[in-house]
Structure 1
């Protein structure tokens, strides 16, 4: 199902590209332009709708995969062990879904911050390096008026980009999110396979104690996940507060200056 929905995505993207090409290259034919515009509009609308279906199918596939991974632990138990699957497996599945949601969020944050950091850094380097070349070109091509503005615009843009990189800790957020992903994935694998004493219960002979240990393992796993996640969330909140204070400080200084002048 997921493969079929992705195939529809590719077909709709091809239709959109073809329609845009017809509009651009065959602008003299009014009928073709109208047909291509309608096809482009429908392709974009269907693409947006289909993306929702793709995301729903992905979430369903992930839930099924997590359910299978939750059952891996029972294969380590002896065949004579009778577990309350109506409570154990749903609890383990829910715990894995919770941790997987956090992992996906941290991965998205990591990728976004890493991309922004590299793009802004590369932009700063390019704009700073191009400025001397533009000054030389301006002297050689004195007749081009628009070239005179480039040696002024590029350093200004480079300064703005550098200020953005300095003001927002993209690299720090990227590294923190990557650390959280690694810790959460490691803890998740420990919980699934029960390879640590805190999660291991298949070596307990008594079934009652074994059942109790499994329930305690789920609770301990949630606590461990929260112990990894909550410091990261608190750190992000503190970082946002610092950025807000930096933005408000010039306003406070300006207000103080106005009060002194008025006095």
Structure 2
């Protein structure tokens, strides 16, 4: 049989996702309804503010605000559920992709191999999602803290000038003291906790894990390719070995990241201890 004939006999799998699945249509419908309810609540609030004597506007405002909160929480819960189901479906298709490209019916119909590959991909995806959350949180905290420090430090001279011009306002006298204090606290927090380093380290780990995941899915690395053996009886064993290699590689990336973070924390503690010792009077 020629190579072209073998390629035509390869089993096909559907790797494309339906852009308009029923779950997505339901989420979109509920989201539109949530926006309409929120718009109605805003309109009722405006009417209540302009015409406080209209009692029905207050009732509509209370009802629409309650419904808006309920719809927001319901959409959030449904979105998490549907996204989790969609992610599991994607992982299941990815687990079957390599065996389908191989075109070996023994591996394609082997449920234990496909289940093991799916479990390995789920484990890697959980680590990727965890590091993505760490990356997002550290990045947001770093940017917000830097922006807050700059803004609070910059407006302090303006507040001092306003305090002198508006001597009759009592609470303005405290702002030139409070803003620099908050800026100093925020700057100390950013200095004490390495949010920027953790963000960059988590981003590097995410890229490494995703690259390793793609290698495993497509079998482009010698560690994960098992179709080049001459004996078909050895295919299941080599497939299991490829899964073990993938788990080992993922764990190595994860443990290296943890070790690097521990080393950075230990070094930071040593620097703080040395600085505290140098500041102590002799």
- Shift, 1:236, TM fit: 5.5
Is 1:67 aligned to 2:67, yes or no? no
After TM superposition, the structure 1 stretch with the greater mean CA deviation from structure 2, 148-157 or 234-243, is: 234-243
Counterpart Cα distance in 2 of 1:233 and 1:215: 27
Please give the per-residue CA displacement for 1:191-237, whole angstroms capped at 9, x wherever unaligned. 00111111011221211222211111111111111112234345557
Alignment pair present for 1:32 and 2:57: yes
Q: TM-score when scaled to structure 2? A: 0.78
The equivalent residue for 1:207 is 232
Residue 106 of structure 2 is aligned with which of 63, 82, 93?
82
Q: Which residue matches 1:108?
A: 133
* Distance in structure 2 (CA, Å) of the matches to 1:47 and 1:120: 28
Deviation at 1:152, TM superposition (A): 1.1
2:131 and 2:206 in contact (8 A); partners too: yes
Distance 1:15 1:241 in 2: 52
Aligned CA distance change for structure 1 residues 32 and 242 (closer, same or farther; 3 Å): farther
Structure 1, 63-72 or 134-143: larger mean CA deviation: 134-143
Distance 2:269 2:37 in 1: 45
Does residue 16 (structure 1) correspond to residue 43 (structure 2)? The answer is no
Alignment partner, residue 259 of structure 1: none
Aligned residue for 1:195? 220
Specify every segment of 5 or more residues in structure 1 that has no aligned partner in the other structure, as ranges.
250-263
- Whether contact under 8 Å (1:13, 1:47) holds in the other structure is no
The 1:216/1:7 distance shift into structure 2, 3 A limit, reads same
RMSD (Å), alpha carbons: 2.8
Q: Which residue of 2 aligns with 1:255?
A: none
Aligned-pair distance for 1:114? 0.1
1:159 match: 184
Distance 1:38 1:168, change over 3 A: same
The counterpart of 1:5, out of the listed 27, 39, 43, is 27
Counterpart selection for 1:117 from 133, 142, 153: 142
* TM-score, structure 1 normalization: 0.83
Range with bigger deviation, 54-63 or 204-213: 204-213
Aligned: 1:47 with 2:72: yes
Q: Separation in 2 of the partners of 1:2 and 1:244? A: 49
The SS at the match of 2:106 is: coil
Contact 2:216–2:246 (8 Å) recurs in 1: yes
Relative to structure 1, is the Cα distance of residues 41 and 234 closer, same or farther in structure 2, using a 3 angstrom cutoff?
Answer: farther
| Pairing 1:131–2:153 present | no
